[in-house]
A and B are shown apart, each in its own frame.
Chain A
Amino acid sequence: MLYTQVKGRKVVSTGTAETVGRVADLVIDPRSHTVVAVTVRGSGHGDTVLWSDITAFGTDAVTVPDGEVLKGANDAVKELSGTAHDVLGKRVLTTDGEQLGSVSDIDFDPQSGAVTVLVLPSGDIAGSRLVGVGPYAAIVHAA
């Protein structure tokens, strides 16, 4: 599933069948190459839902058991969120110090949350090559 397609997707509570917000951002842990949380906007509750609290990441809506799973970001999530850790649009550097371009999209597995591919204009990079993401660049292992 592509990052650019899930932005703005409805987050629906299966308990109340109500829309509790919309997907704002994915929080990615570069060390495990997985999506660890989703930030939500327009919610009356908190703005973060942990990946483990999501019932399903569907093609038309993201379902959660109820609005209560939306909480404030915990420390682990806070450390990985914010513009400094955004992967989308960031320049990509290899561990050899070569710049490959900037990330135009991210493909992830809606079941496990694993980041499978970083999409770049110059070509795709396996998500497993991701080493770290910071304010300057996303670092990937040299091929």
Chain B
Amino acid sequence: MCARRCIGNSQPDETTQGTTVILTVSIADLKTSGQRGDTIVTHALGSCLGITIYDPVAAVGGMLHAMLPDSSIDPKKGLESPFMFVDTGLPRLFKDCYKLGADKTRLIVKVAGGATSKANLEDDYFQIGKRNFVMLRKMLWKNSVLLKSYDVGGCDSRTMSLELSTGDVLLKMNGAVRKL
């Protein structure tokens, strides 16, 4: 069985750079992999959250790009597009990695995004980015999982990648790259 799973929309989402396979996570999308040479990446994280989980022993990981916190605003949409919402996408991220051999007690969880488009935070009436992060923290706490690290809020768009060989999560913001 191939350990790589590409779940989500039908857009072209897999490219090769040398021996590295890049799996691109679109908006409202999820990718998981158990191949050490793979890199999972998502672009243009604004108020959306990019959530990565990684098991360093099994070298299995995944990334969710969720747009909204709670599927209760449209339960039908939650069923049709579970990766759109944090509350429906997060369980799938974990469960799909379990299927590839990940163990919950070893998983390293990191998150980025949750920004606002408003220069003044008080003008952000809907606070989607903040709501996404609060929903994520609530679900992790309920399921006895802590975040290893996070970079959320602010006004800038982020690109996030997860390298399956090392578990490194890289963040690109305003042209600068740093490890999360």
Is B a genuine binding partner of A? no
Residues of A within 8 A of B (CB): none
